[in-house]
Amino acid sequence: MSRRVFLAPALVLMLVAIGGRFTLDRAGFPDLAWVDLRVIGLAAALAVLVADIARRPALDPAIPRREGWLIAAVLFFLYQIASGLWAPPAARVGPQTLDLVLMAALTVAFYLYATGDPEWVVRTTFWLFYAAGIVFALAAIFINGPGEQGRYSAFGGGPNVFVRIQILGIIAAVALFLAHRRWWILGAVPLFLLAAVLSGSRAGLLAGAAVGAAALLRLRHRLRAAPVLAAGAGLVMAAGVAWQFAPPAFTSLFQERFVEQTVQDHYLSDRTSIWRAAGKLAAEHPVAGAGLDGFYGTIGVNQGVEYPHNYLLGVAAEGGLIGIGLLATAILLWAGAVRGVKGTGLAASAAVFVALSSLFSGDYYDARLAWLFAALAAAAAVPVSDRELVTR
């Protein structure tokens, strides 16, 4: 079946989503640091998306769609932006507002785009993440190399964002294999695993393992023992070969980061003290929160901490019970929309993985991929009859 949407919006929206914050000073033009390429890219994507929507045949208005989650999500983003009105003076309201506007626009745009042809858009998105995972992994290993802490990342992003790209690459590989039944697609999985470990992100790996275990548990009755054992043996062999021929930087990172710091010293990168501070701030402002970027404006500016490193604690501290209530409403409505619907599983798993990772690292904008995949899963949950073409 031929696709019913343009390819251009997918490419541009994905570049904006994966690229993160990218101003021209990072490209070597310090005088143009004010130029945010996210705004330019999103404007271009929206222009093409409008043209794409205008050419589509109309959807049947008689069939209801479960889009309450999207309304709640937009209200949540708007409330976060509005909370800048009571933020402390040191809060960085302007940049945070831009982040939230862009994230809201990405979420809505991706949902509207995907509803035009959900199956094709979901599959194309996974192909793009599959390719991005390979590019990021090769760039980290052969170009960027280890950072100051010995952790790997690519294209100026942090290790905690880098590991998300790699785990999403694994999810994409599984989704594409199930769609095409081509074994070569799984050939990139060892590369993704190696790069994920090289990131040194313990939370990202733990979130990926949790989502993977849940997926295997859900699919346990559909799996055959022979392929599972073969895949497991292949991964063990690949890990053994990688360990045998790995450079000293890899083995020392694994030994220091995962064995000494985690197992022996129980080191959590000061997360517990940061979370306690965020929890205390939430208790001091229980209803409406301390306002947008209130954590930094109240605590972080004095302690050199950018954000709470926990999405929920950040919302509780800066948005209070109102913010948590809007977020919970969006999540519950989304879960109800995608639950039990065929074709939404791996997109939903990707959203859950990024959401779990956001409980340990990153700020609001770093959670954008969770919202993106949530939009994809919700679009894939639209009833088939609602996608049928009708006369305008």
Q: What does the pLDDT look like over 187-208, one tens digit per residue?
A: 898 889 888 888 888 888 888 8
| pLDDT given at position 63 | 64
Provide the 10 A C-beta neighbour count for residue 148.
5
Q: Indicate the pLDDT class of residue 1, thresholds 50, 70 and 90.
A: very low
Give the total residue count for the chain.
392
| pLDDT given at position 265 | 44
| pLDDT given at position 59 | 67
Residue 27 has pLDDT above 70, yes or no: no
Residue 391 has pLDDT above 50, yes or no: no
The residue assigned the tokens 């409505």 is 333
Give every CB contact of residue 91 below 8 A, 6+ residues apart in sequence. 84, 291, 292, 293, 294, 296, 297
Q: What is the pLDDT of residues 111-164, one digit of tens each?
A: 998 888 888 889 999 999 999 999 999 999 888 877 777 788 888 788 888 999
- Give me the chain's average pLDDT, please: 82
- Residue pair 339/333 in contact (Cβ under 8 Å)? The answer is no
pLDDT over 90 percentage in the chain: 40
- Residue pair 31/76 in contact (Cβ under 8 Å)? The answer is no
Token pair belonging to 18: 């994966």
Q: What is the pLDDT of residues 36-59, one digit of tens each?
A: 788 888 888 888 888 888 877 766
Sign of CA dihedral 231, 374, 370, 308: negative
| pLDDT given at position 390 | 39
Q: What is the pLDDT of residues 154-196, one digit of tens each?
A: 887 888 889 999 999 999 998 998 888 888 898 898 889 888 8
| pLDDT given at position 242 | 58
User: Which letter does DSSP use for residue 29 in this model?
Assistant: -
Nearest residue to 191 via CA among 213, 167, 157: 167
| pLDDT given at position 40 | 87
The residue assigned the tokens 């919202």 is 371
| pLDDT given at position 212 | 83
Q: What is the pLDDT of residues 285-317, one digit of tens each?
A: 999 999 999 999 999 888 888 889 899 999 999
- Residue pair 285/322 in contact (Cβ under 8 Å)? The answer is no
| pLDDT given at position 377 | 93
Provide the 10 A C-beta neighbour count for residue 356.
18
* DSSP assignment of 92-160: -HHHHHHHHHHHHHHHHHHHHHHTTSHHHHHHHHHHHHHHHHHHHHHHIIIII-B-TTS-B--TT--HH
Nearest residue to 98 via CA among 50, 36, 156: 36
Question: 387: part of which helix (H) or strand (E)?
Answer: none
Residue 221 has pLDDT above 90, yes or no: no
- Residue pair 50/18 in contact (Cβ under 8 Å)? The answer is no
Nearest residue to 123 via CA among 53, 165, 172: 172
Task: Reduce the DSSP state of residue 58 to 3 states and report it.
Answer: strand
Q: Indicate the pLDDT class of residue 353, thresholds 50, 70 and 90.
A: very high
Q: Indicate the pLDDT class of residue 264, thresholds 50, 70 and 90.
A: very low
Sign of CA dihedral 340, 343, 349, 351: negative
Q: Indicate the pLDDT class of residue 381, thresholds 50, 70 and 90.
A: confident
Whether the predicted model's global pTM rises above the 0.95 cut: no
* DSSP assignment of 176-228: HHHHH--GGGGGGHHHHHHHHHHTT-HHHHHHHHHHHHHHHHHTTTT--HHHH
Residue 325 has pLDDT above 70, yes or no: yes
The residue ranking higher by pLDDT, 329 or 142, is 329
| pLDDT given at position 14 | 83
Phi, psi of 89, rounded to the nearest 5 degrees = -55, -35
Residue 331 has pLDDT above 60, yes or no: yes
Token pair belonging to 183: 């074994």
Q: What is the pLDDT of residues 238-252, one digit of tens each?
A: 666 655 555 566 656
